[in-house]
Amino acid sequence: MNPRIRWALQFAVSAVLLVVLLRVFPLDLVREALAGISWSLWFGALAMFLTVHAISALKWRLLVGPDVVSVGEAIRIHYAGLSTSLVLPGLMSGDVVRGGMLGKRSGDWHGVVVAGLFDRVIDVTTLLVLAGFGLLTSVTVAGDALRLFALAALTVAAVVTAMVVGLSWLGGGQREWQMNLADAIARLKARPVNAAAAFSISIVVQLGFLFASKAIGEGVGLEAPLAVWLVAWPLSKLAAVLPVGLAGIGMREVALVALFGFYGISEPVAIAAGLAWESVLVVGLLSSGLLAAAASGSLPE
């Protein structure tokens, strides 16, 4: 498919999802909630977004191999790939661009693809762990074992879907990504310290995003226990990873409304929290591209 047509379709999907949400739920209440965010809180969340992604780049460098790419170059390439999420399908498109840049530079295409593949698997596993912990600790909040079981099943389905789509996206055909996954496991077994460190960093990274999003949510009046955020945020991020809308916009809001609604949170407030985070995300993606471009003149290619 023509890239411009694909981008237009993704933009249309995101726009339709947002329009439907804003037509179904009171727009005035969403505006009122958004008005509660201070500029200091918003810029703090943006700074957290960029900082956590720099840490994420260090995680990726561990998996690629510290001898393959320097710290500064890893962050630059990660930021450059990140910025493409606004024009390519799905948030995971940045992984492909990032891998392409480093593969061209290092010549080890297979090693870079395998490292990117395992990087994504680690992140998805971390999200699953956080969501599972949130499900276990939010039983008293939900107060309904049957509904909680249904949400747990939904969690597993979302994770499996995201992993299958992600592996296929990064690896090509089914047989190829299965071989890449087996190779990734073999390589990581040979470097268990790096794998363990990457998983630990992934937990820090995902919690950093979660707390930044939670702060934005509280700014719009979304008061929910941490256990509820541990369920809603990882699952909404998995929904945003699927290559449906533009940078996950729209998909994330739909997921947040459904998941927070499970715990009795007002839909307009959930929408406002999602939209506020989207503004941080979009500016963060643009900023990462500018930072990568600025750094390209001072770092060796």
* Spatial distance between the Cα atoms of 89 and 85, rounded to a whole number of angstroms: 7
The mean pLDDT value of the chain amounts to: 81
pLDDT tens digits, 58-67? 999 998 888 8
Please indicate whether residue 280 or residue 110 has the higher confidence score (pLDDT).
280
Instruction: List the structure tokens of 229.
Output: 């955020």
pLDDT at residue 289 tops 60: yes
Do 29 and 268 form a contact (C-beta atoms < 8 A)? Answer: yes
pLDDT digits (tens, 9 = 90+) for 136-153: 787 665 555 555 556 666
| Helix boundaries (H) for the chain | 3-24, 27-34, 39-64, 71-83, 93-106, 109-137, 139-142, 145-171, 174-190, 192-219, 226-241, 251-262, 267-296
Q: What pLDDT score does 204 carry?
A: 95
Asked if 162 and 240 touch (Cβ cutoff 8 Å), the reply is no
